Amino acid sequence: MRFAGITDNDIVDGIDGISVSFWTQGCPFHCPGCHNPETWDFNGGKELPDYYLDSLIEKLTANGIQRNLSILGGEPLCPENEGLIYSICRVVKQELPNTKIILWTGYTMEQLKNRSKTNDPFIGSLLRNYLDVIIDGPYKKDLRDLRLKLRGSSNQRIWKHVKYKLPVLHKNDYHWINIKEENI
Ligand code: SF4
């Protein structure tokens, strides 16, 4: 498996303090104006070392400080990367259940939910069990807005995984609500 990089102490790409940021390699979207075109090539980046999960857990708790995990790209949830992201999120939540996981994807929430209803083995579990915040949708340079928090363009939305029961819930719907940035 390949990845683009890891930022040990990231105070920009995340919420609530410090994050470890994991950058995936490979993206099928090729959004015009993308800030990270070097992450598009699925053969680019570098090979993940065998010990990457242990190393990630160490980074999340280094010096006794609890960090969150930010997952960016590249595209974390394309078919080439979703298995890796599933493995990472599962282990992180098992070892460090209080870690918040924030993920940026070029897919919309609607597309992810549709994929979760098919034979996709990973997306449904990620939505149900592991991800806490999703920033969705492709970057659109015509909608670029530097005032936005966590997002590059105004079509992108912030979704929060809510832990309480919603009054009416379709069985294929998950507990995700679209929130305004001041409510993160
Ligand atoms: S989805 Fe993200 S990484 Fe991929 S091209 Fe668009 S902005 Fe770049």
Please tell me the distance between residue 22's alpha carbon and the centre of ligand 1 in angstroms: 15
Q: Is residue 173 scored above 70 in pLDDT?
A: no
Predicted pLDDT of residue 120: 84
Instruction: List the 101-104 sheet strands across, edge first.
Output: 46-47, 2-10, 19-24, 68-72, 101-104, 133-136, 157-161, 176-179
* Contacts of residue 38, Cβ cutoff 8 Å, sequence gap at least 6: 4, 44
Q: What is the pLDDT of residues 79-123, one digit of tens each?
A: 999 999 999 999 999 999 999 999 999 999 999 999 988 878 899
Nearest CA to ligand 1 atom 1: 106
- Of all atoms in ligand 1, which is nearest to the CA of residue 37? 8
Predicted pLDDT of residue 172: 47
Per-residue confidence band for 169, with pLDDT thresholds at 50, 70 and 90:
low
Please tell me the distance between residue 34's alpha carbon and the centre of ligand 1 in angstroms: 6
- Of all atoms in ligand 1, which is nearest to the CA of residue 105? 1
Compute the average pLDDT of residues 67-77: 96
Q: What is the pLDDT of residues 82-94, one digit of tens each?
A: 999 999 999 999 9
Cβ–Cβ < 8 Å for 58, 19: no
Number of domains composing the chain: 1
Per-residue confidence band for 166, with pLDDT thresholds at 50, 70 and 90:
low
Distance CA 175, CA 165 (A): 7
Per-residue confidence band for 13, with pLDDT thresholds at 50, 70 and 90:
confident
Domain that holds residue 133: 2-183
The token pair that represents 5 in the structure block: 């990089």
